[in-house]
Amino acid sequence: MTDAAKVGPLAGWKIIDLSRVLGGPYCTQLLGDLGAEVIKIEPPQGDETREWGPPYTDGEAAYFVGVNRNKKSLALDLAKPEGKAVLLRLLEGADALVENFKTGSLEKWGLGYDEVLSKKFPTLIHCRVTGFGGDGPLGGYPGYDAVLQAMCGLISVNGPPDAGGVRLGIPIVDIATGLFAVNAILAAAVERHKSGKGQSVEASLFDTGIALQHPHAANWFMSGKKPVLVGNAHTNIAPYDAFPTKTGGVYLSVGNDGQFLKLCQELGVPEMAKDPRFLTNSERLKNKEVLRDEIVRHLADKDAEPFCLKLLDAGIPAGPILDMKGILTHPHAKHRKMVLEQGNYKGVGTAIKFSRTPASLRRTPPRFGEHSREVLQEAGFSAAEIDSLITGGIVPAERRKAR
């Protein structure tokens, strides 16, 4: 196995990560999983998610631990000229800079991409993760996941009819923005291979929240009708919903008439597939409440997991409704390496698989400033220079309390 195969397809890449909280760190963690060297530069107060708990392990919140593996931590005060000088030195030879500062912050510090960075580092890819983008009527405003779920219509299409819209239980906008940011960086790198030039790319929570609106946006463009709340059901397909069984919930995703016929056969009622009310997806949608009642009745004596396996064997998409323990201890999750363990660290694995250059866990999430000396030494700073930066507070040895 080659060295590249041991550390992933981005081996040799250097990422300077100035981001905090979730969208940016999720992006840089994935780049790190894929082999890039990620230097997480934290302000003197540190990444605030270090305190977003409980739960905590060794003083670090699970929220922080979940999105900051495969990174080195350097504490640096960019508000001081000496701190900016350190950053500029670290950017020499870097492939990408990821940041999620308030729009205009880099410019205010004399580190704007157009004015400074693009000229000093013409091959650098600058990735900005923002709430609303840098321009437009809402440009520059800060954004958090739940706010964008609300504004971008995600809450309006999620939840049961009798309860009203409900926030999705995961920060889907933040996470998806991080994934879009990774795609933007890699696409810019492909273009850089042709042009020899870097560029600035942006991924905003606002744009992401809208981009995730499928099929609701497509339905609205075509029909002009506002989506209705359908709970666990699908707006365009039936049966596509959660159902109870004797031993727990299952989810059935029956996407075509052939699958519906097989479902009826496995339920022991093949004649139901010939019922005029259920012959086609359009008819099943019109009569989905009656259809649901029939399916619930025939699932009442079934065991959730064994029956789902039986349906999968028959070619019917189905799965048991599991909680965190159920999925994170599932034998298939273990086989797919979707749970990573190293010492006291446990984390969710990387969802991308490679035949030659797999993702890997090389570093557990860093403590604040854990690698400050190491990073500066690798950048060519002398021991005396490093000591001066630390004693001068440019490279804080401990977190400062936020004011």
Structure tokens at 301: 């004596």
On whether the CB atoms of residues 75 and 395 are closer than 8 A, the answer is yes
Secondary structure (DSSP) of 283-321: HHHHTHHHHHHHHHHHHTT--HHHHHHHHHHTT--EEE-
Q: For residue 156, what are the contacts with CB-CB under 8 A and spacing of at least 6? A: 165, 227
- Alpha-carbon span 187 to 369, nearest angstrom: 31
What is the bridge-based pairing of β-strands 200-204 and 125-130?
parallel
H or E element at residue 82: helix 81-90
- Alpha-carbon span 93 to 337, nearest angstrom: 33
For helices 23-33 and 172-195, the axis angle rounded to 10 degrees is 50
- Alpha-carbon span 29 to 151, nearest angstrom: 27
Catalytic annotation on 95?
Answer: no
Considering the candidates 17, 174, 207, 241, report the single residue annotated as catalytic.
Answer: 174
By residue count, the chain amounts to 403
On whether the CB atoms of residues 37 and 11 are closer than 8 A, the answer is no
- Alpha-carbon span 31 to 35, nearest angstrom: 7
**CA-based R_g, the chain, Å:** 25
Strand, coil or helix: what is 107? helix
Residue with tokens 């931590």: 73
Known catalytic residues are 174
